[in-house]
């Protein structure tokens, strides 16, 4: 069982992996899918742990914050843990779908690769702009 902080961090990892799926090359995308699946599993299991024993988690957090070793009380759940489980399951399914559709992945653009500088075409204004971005003077 993981903490609420772990579920939040796993959600941020899901967002970063989703961006990597869009921006990375073929190997980077494969790594992003693996990380995406792991983050989905982490998010789901963390939320399932909160659903299984909300009182124990709440009392442990209260004891940690107050410094009192034993506290009594009850705890109830909001919709958050259930939404986190759904988010984790959807993330894992998204990773499975991404692996299944890996053959259709297009090669990423080489525009921002440092070694793939294109020649400047005189009639193309974008080519001149790209030359300026690389630090070259197109005039």
End-to-end CA distance of the chain: 62
What is the tens place of the pLDDT at every residue in 34-85? Answer: 888 888 888 888 888 888 888 887 787 778 788 877 777 777 788 888 988 9
Domain boundaries, the chain: 4-108, 110-139
Going by C-alpha positions, the residue among 30, 34, 131 that lies closest to residue 91 is 34
C-alpha span between 91 and 36 (Å, rounded)? 7
For residues 84 and 47, the answer to whether their CB atoms sit within 8 Å is: yes
Query: Which region, left, alpha or beta, applies to residue 120 given φ > 0 means left and ψ of -120 to 50 means alpha?
Result: beta
What is the tens place of the pLDDT at every residue in 87-126? Answer: 889 989 988 888 888 777 766 555 555 555 444 445 566 6
């Amino acid at each position: 069982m993981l903490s609420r902080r772990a579920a939040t961090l796993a959600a941020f990892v899901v967002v970063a992996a989703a961006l990597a799926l869009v921006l990375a090359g073929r190997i980077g995308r494969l790594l992003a899918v693996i990380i995406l699946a792991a983050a989905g599993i982490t998010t789901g299991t963390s939320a399932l742990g909160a659903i299984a024993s909300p009182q124990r988690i709440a009392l442990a957090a209260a004891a940690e914050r107050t410094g009192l070793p034993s506290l009594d009380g009850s705890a109830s759940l909001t919709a958050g843990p259930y939404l986190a489980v759904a988010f984790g399951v959807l993330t894992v399914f998204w990773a499975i779908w991404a692996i299944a559709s890996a053959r259709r992945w297009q090669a990423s653009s080489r525009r921002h690769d440092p070694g793939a500088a294109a020649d400047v075409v005189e009639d193309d204004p974008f080519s001149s702009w790209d030359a300026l971005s690389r630090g070259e003077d197109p005039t």
